[in-house]
A and B are shown apart, each in its own frame.
Chain A
Amino acid sequence: MNEAERELLETVRRARAERRTVPSKGSERNVALEGAFRIQAELAAGRPLKGYKLGLVSPAKQRQMGIDRPVWGRVFSEMIHAHEVRLSDFIQPRVEPEVAALLASDLPAGSSEGAAMRAVAGFVLAVDILDSIWEGYRFTLAEVVADNTSGGGFLMGERLLEAPPAGDLELWLDGELLGRGPVTALGNPYRQLATLADMAGGLSAGQVVFLGSPAAAQPARPGTLTLLSAAGSLSARLV
C-alpha cells in the first residue's frame, strides 16, 4: 500500500469508528480503483462476511463515474436488519429499493451466466440503507469503494421469489413516495452475479447479493418504510 492509500484507509477507518462525515479530496485523492478495493479488503478483515452489494449498476451512473462495470462492497452479518432499524446507528443514512439474490451453491470466478442461474436459490425484495462517511455523498470512485461502497444496513423480504418481480419497485416512507423504478433497470441479474463472482474471486453458498437499485437513494428519517412490488411487500420501522 502506498502513502496515498494508507492515508485514505486511515481516513475511512477513523470516520467510520467515530461515525462522522469527512469532505472528499476530489481530484487530489491519488488512489486508483485497485488500491481502493485493497483498502476495502483491509477494513473487512476479521468481520463475518454475509455477501455483497453491487453499486452503480446502471450504465448511466457508470458513464458518469467513468467505469464500465458495477462496483461492489461487502455485506457483514451485523448489517442485516429486520422489522426495526435504529437510524442513530448510521452517519447519514439513505434508503433505496432493491432486489437481492440468495445463493444455494458456490459460484466460482469465471462462471457463466447459466451457472449463476443454477446457483441461485431465489430472490427477495430488499432495502439498502446506505451510509457514507463522505459529506453529502460527494466522493470520488476510489473514495466510495474504499468506504465499502456506502455499505450501511439491509432489510430483506420474507418471501423467496423464483425470479425478480415484474414491474416497478416503489419505496414509501409513511405516506410519501420516496422513489420508484423498474426492476429491468437492474439488468440481467445472472450476468451481474457472474461478473461479481469474477471481481470478488468467487461467491459462496449461503451468501446474499444485493443487486442494486432502480431508483435514486433518498435520506432516511423515522417512520414506516414500505417497499411495494407486484410480488409482495417489505416493511420496517425506522426509529
Chain B
Amino acid sequence: MSGERLSEMARLLDEAWETRTPVAPLSQTHGLSSIEDAYEVQRLFHERRTARGERLLGRKIGLTARAVQRQLGVDQPDFGNLWASRYFPREGSIVEVPREIFLQPRIEGELAFLIGRRLSGPGVSLQEVLAATEAVAPAFEIVDSRIRDWKITITDTIADNASYGGFTLGAWRRSWLSRDLRTLGMLLVKNGQPTAQGAGAAALDHPAAAVAWLANTFGRFGVALEPGDIVLSGSWIPVQPVERGDVCELLLADAEPLVLRFT
C-alpha cells in the first residue's frame, strides 16, 4: 500500500480524534487489510498526535482475551500507545473523567506494569517480566473507537491506536509481584451493581505473559520496553458500556477501591 494512502488514513483518525466524530471502517473505505500496514498507520497517527504536543507514557496491550481474539479472527493480541493527555491521575478518592472528550467510550479493568529494567526481546519469558517489573497497579482503561459504531476489524483497531481512550491507576504495589497474578480477581461494580468480574488468567493466561508478548514483538522492530514505561496488560473482565453519570468501582482483594465517575 502506498505511503500516501497510509498517511491519509492516519490523517482521518487524527481528525476523528480531534473533532470527536467517528469515521467509517478503514478496512472498508481504504482496503486496509494487512496487520503491518495497520501498525504503520498507527505509527503515523502517533506522529500526528506527538506533533500536537502529545507525550508517550507507555503502551497498552489489547485483544488479550481468547474470546475477543476469536471474535476478530486473530490468534494474537495487539498493542497501542498510552498518551499522556488521557491519563487521569487519582488525586482525591474519586477520579472524574469528562464523558464529552470521548466518542463512544467503554470500560475495562486490568493490571498495569511499571517497568523497572529494560526488557528487550526476543526470548523474554513471563518470569523475566516479573523480575524486571518495579511494581503493578490496578487500572481502569477507557477504550474508545474512532471507527463508527465500533464496527472494527483487526486492522481498524490496530490503526486506531488499539482503540485507546484513556486510563487511571490505583496505587503501585511491589508486593503484588509475588502473588499468583493468574488467580488474583477483580470485580467491577457499576452504579452499585456488581457488573463484571474476572481473574488475571483472562489476560493471555497471565498478565505478565502479555507483557512478554509485547517485549518480544517489539524486539522484532529493535524497540525495547524501557524503565519507567507503563504497560496496560489487557482486561480481566469483559468490556462494559459507560454513560455520563456512571460511577464505576474496581475492587480487588486487599486493595483500596479505584473509583471513576463519568461527568
Do chains A and B stick together as partners? yes
Is the pair A156, B127 in contact by a Cβ cutoff of 8 Å? yes
Is A50 in contact with chain B by the CB < 8 A criterion?
A: yes
Determine the distance from Cα of A205 to Cα of B127 in the docked complex, in whole angstroms.
Answer: 13
Is the pair B131, A160 in contact by a Cβ cutoff of 8 Å? yes
Q: Which of A50, A121, A124 has the most CB of B within 10 A?
A: A121
Determine the distance from Cα of A157 to Cα of B125 in the docked complex, in whole angstroms.
Answer: 11
Determine the distance from Cα of A100 to Cα of B127 in the docked complex, in whole angstroms.
Answer: 10
Residues of chain B within 8 A (CB-CB) of A122 are 130-131, 177-178
Q: Given A102-B131, A103-B131, A205-B117, verify A158-B126 contact (CB < 8 Å).
A: yes
Determine the distance from Cα of A232 to Cα of B179 in the docked complex, in whole angstroms.
Answer: 11
Is A208 in contact with chain B by the CB < 8 A criterion?
A: yes
Is the pair B117, A206 in contact by a Cβ cutoff of 8 Å? yes
Q: CB-nearest residue of chain B relative to A105?
A: B117
Determine the distance from Cα of A77 to Cα of B132 in the docked complex, in whole angstroms.
Answer: 17
Q: Given A159-B180, A205-B117, verify A102-B128 contact (CB < 8 Å).
A: yes
Size of B's binding interface in residues, CB under 8 A: 20
Residues of chain A within 8 A (CB-CB) of B182 are 158-159
Determine the distance from Cα of A102 to Cα of B119 in the docked complex, in whole angstroms.
Answer: 14
Query: Which residues in chain B, 125-148, are within 8 Å of chain A measured between CB atoms?
Result: 125-128, 130-132
Q: Given B122, B131, B206, which contacts A206 in the complex, CB threshold below 8 Å?
A: B131
Determine the distance from Cα of A121 to Cα of B133 in the docked complex, in whole angstroms.
Answer: 9
Query: Which residues in chain A, 95-136, are within 8 Å of chain B measured between CB atoms?
Result: 100, 102-104, 121-122, 124
Q: Which residues of A contact B (CB under 8 A)?
A: 48, 50, 77, 80, 82, 100, 102-104, 121-122, 124, 156-162, 205-206, 208, 232
Q: Which residues of B contact A (CB under 8 A)?
A: 116-117, 122-123, 125-128, 130-132, 177-182, 206, 208-209
5 smallest CB-CB distances across A and B, nearest first, come from: A77-B123, A121-B131, A102-B131, A159-B180, A160-B130
